[in-house]
């Protein structure tokens, strides 16, 4: 299953928990694993707090401090987005969440976020695979 996400900023966090949860419910799987993977090299998927949107802003600020834009990266010679590739590689393209009782097993404040690192993009694809496990 594919979720499509649009970004409006160069760097931003976009919550997709509700879309993923809807796919889990639709699948009818009561117990299993839900694998979420962004299909792009300049975006990432993370699980983090979803109540305060400033967490996403802080995450991007921390990444920018650690990996500055246009800091002599060799890949910038090709398409000027080396920092986005590096940050995406560090965060990772995917997360796996347990499914219990037909729902995502997330903590009270946890949500699934796509981290856009080279936007804005009208279409980012996120693959969601739900695999049942034995009870």
Beta-carbon contacts of 81 under 8 Å, excluding residues fewer than 6 positions away, are 42, 75, 118
Write the DSSP assignment of 49-101 as a string of letters.
E-S-THHHHHHHHHHHHHS-TTSS-TTHHHHS-HHHHHHHHHH-SEEEEEEET
Residue 129 neighbours by CB distance under 10 Å: 15
| Residue 7: predicted pLDDT | 97
pLDDT bucket at 134, cuts 50 / 70 / 90: confident
Q: pTM for the full model?
A: 0.95
Please name the helix (run of DSSP H) or strand (run of DSSP E) that holds residue 23, with its range, or none.
Answer: helix 17-27
Beta-carbon contacts of 80 under 8 Å, excluding residues fewer than 6 positions away, are 70
For 16-68, the pLDDT digits (tens) are: 999 999 999 999 999 999 999 999 999 999 999 999 989 999 999 999 999 99
The domain that holds 17 is classified in CATH as 2.60.120.460
| Residue 79: predicted pLDDT | 93
Assigned token pair, 72: 């002599």
| Residue 73: predicted pLDDT | 93
Helix (H, G, I), strand (E, B) or coil at 133: coil
Number of domains in the chain: 1
pLDDT above 90: residue 135: no
pLDDT above 90: residue 1: yes
Domain span holding position 31: 2-132
């Amino acid at each position: 299953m594919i979720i499509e996400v649009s970004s409006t900023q160069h760097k931003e966090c976009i919550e997709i928990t509700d879309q993923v949860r809807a796919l889990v419910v639709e699948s009818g799987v009561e117990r299993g694993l839900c694998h979420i993977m962004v299909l792009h090299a300049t975006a990432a998927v993370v699980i983090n707090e979803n109540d305060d949107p400033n967490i996403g802003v802080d995450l991007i600020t921390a990444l920018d401090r650690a990996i500055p834009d246009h800091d002599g990266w060799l890949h910038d010679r090709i398409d000027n987005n080396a920092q986005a590739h590096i940050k995406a590689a560090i965060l990772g393209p995917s997360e796996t969440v347990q499914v219990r009782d037909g729902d995502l097993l997330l903590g009270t404040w946890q949500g699934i976020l796509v981290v856009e690192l080279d936007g804005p993009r009208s279409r980012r694809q996120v693959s969601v695979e739900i695999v049942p496990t034995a009870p």
